[in-house]
Structures are given as C-alpha cells and as structure tokens.
Amino acid sequence: MKVSSFAVARPAYYDRNATSGTAVYSGSFIAPHAETVRWTVTVATGKKANIELTRMMAYRVTVATVAATAGYVARITTASSYMDILYEAHISNVLGYEAKDLAPAGVTLYAGETLDGRTYDGSTGGAYNYLTGCKYTTFDA
C-alpha cells in the first residue's frame, strides 16, 4: 500500500509529459469549394490537450462571377456532438476583403475529441487565400 500526504499537489499539466504541437493550413488562390477539413488535431488515449491559440483568416484575391457565402470554421467534436469555437460566414465580392478571427486560449480537449479547421466558399468563380491553424499542448491525463 502506498502512503503519501494529501498535501502533495499533482503536477501542473505542463509538467506531465507535455509536448507542443501545431496544425496549420495555408492556401493561395483557392477556388470555390464545399466545406473542407484542412487540418485535424485528435487527442490520444490517456492524454488531454490544451488549445492555446486558434487563428483563421480568409482574403478575397480574385472577384467571383456570383458571390455567395464563404468563410471558415474551427470545430470541436466529441463522441456525441460538436461546437464551433470560430465561425465566419460572409458574402463579399470586394477584392482585398479580409475576415480574420482569433480564439481565446484555455480550451481543454479530452481523449478521443478533435479540433479541426475547415474552409468553404459557395461562390461561382473567384478565389480566396486562407490561413488557418492552432497551437496546442498535449499532456498526460
């Protein structure tokens, strides 16, 4: 039987076999497309992940024949549901239009949960540049 004091605190997450990671997508002159997953972070068994930063940007580089809804999504998926932590939907046919978002830190993901970055553009013709990504730390649960 192990004997220890209850006064001994559990190490902070960054002291529990922590590793840093990034997931990034950068695309230039991306033609209209259905919602497309650009990157995914999945938490392994026995681990947790602290999402430190999520950044997404869409920039209109060529005008569309017919503009429609375009944007990006950062989505957390669990076993039974999902939640978007960043979501951009806009209709713009202005050359140089830029949408950008930054999600706050502090989101914790548990084993089996995912965070992914997606882009979409329902326009006819035209193109966007996209930059999406996240910085995270995984650690022992």
Q: Confirm whether 53 is domain-assigned.
A: yes
Nearest-angstrom CA–CA distance, 63 and 126: 5
Residue 50: per-residue pLDDT: 94
What residues contact 80, with CB distance under 8 A and at least 6 apart? none
User: Whole domain around residue 49: which residue ranges?
Assistant: 18-140
**What is the distance between the alpha carbons of residues 21 and 136, in angstroms, rounded to a whole number?**
5
What CATH code is carried by the domain that includes residue 65? Answer: 2.60.120.20
4-39 residue pLDDT tens? 666 678 888 778 889 999 999 999 999 999 999 999
- The answer to whether position 4 is within a domain reads no
- Look at residue 12 and tell me if it is in a domain: no
- Residue 13 · residue 48 · CB < 8 Å: yes
Query: Tell me, what's the pLDDT at 11?
Result: 83
pLDDT tens-digit series, residues 57-92? 999 999 999 999 999 999 999 999 999 999 999 999
Q: 61 lies in a domain? A: yes
- What percentage of the chain reaches a pLDDT higher than 70? 95
Whether the pLDDT of residue 1 is over 60: the answer is no
**Has residue 88 been placed in a domain?**
yes
Give the number of domains in the chain.
Answer: 1
Contact 47, 128 (CB under 8 A): no
Residue 8: the pLDDT is 72
* Cα gap 105→85, rounded to integer Å: 11
Report yes or no on 5 lying in a domain. Answer: no
Domain-located, residue 60: yes
Strand runs (DSSP E) across the chain, as ranges? Answer: 19-30, 33-42, 47-62, 70-77, 82-90, 98-103, 107-110, 114-121, 127-140
Q: pTM to 2 decimals?
A: 0.87
9 within domain boundaries: no
Q: What is the pLDDT of residue 63?
A: 97
